Amino acid sequence: MKALPRIGTVLLLAASLTGLGTGLAGCAGQTADGGASQSAAAANTITIKGFAFQAPASVAPGSQVTVKNLDSAAHTVTADDGKSFDAQAGAGGGTGTFTAPSKPGSYPYHCTFHPDMHGVLVVK
């Protein structure tokens, strides 16, 4: 008779641990879709390397954009209109972020430290 309650306890404990494991994975930034949020973040990254911008084909309106600087000098990603966005990324792996404009369109940008550097952020 005592064996039945133990089996129930073991099953309940196993179910609890399974749920706990899922909860911990969520806390660590894991997603149920295998990390799609990380790939979405990578898709919204402007990388600076060799004093040139490498931008995504487009970003969604109002999305978070990360600037990753792989150069040994600091850079900015500054909208040519002076108001749509501006982010600075320090030298040697520094990062910055900005929010993409909410209105779809093409937004030319430059580096305020290096006037030869230009790019275009496409929002759609």
Encode pLDDT of 63-100 as tens digits: 999 999 999 999 999 999 999 999 999 999 999 999 99
**pLDDT band at residue 31 under the 50/70/90 scheme:** very low
Which pair of tokens denotes residue 67?
């600037």
- According to the model, what pLDDT value does residue 16 have? 41
Report d(CA 55, CA 73) in Å as an integer: 18
| Mean pLDDT of the 9-17 span | 40
Residue 20's pLDDT band (cuts 50, 70, 90): very low
Instruction: Please give the model's pTM, rounded to 2 decimal places.
Output: 0.68
Average pLDDT rounded to a whole number, residues 17-38: 41
Element (H, E) at 22: helix 3-27
What is the average pLDDT value for the chain, to the nearest integer?
80
Q: Are 37 and 63 in contact (CB under 8 A)?
A: no
3-class secondary structure, 3 = helix
Contacts by 6-15 with C-beta closer than 8 Å and gap 24+? none
Tell me what pLDDT residue 62 has.
Answer: 98
Residue 37: pLDDT above 90? no
CB 67 within 8 A of CB 96: yes
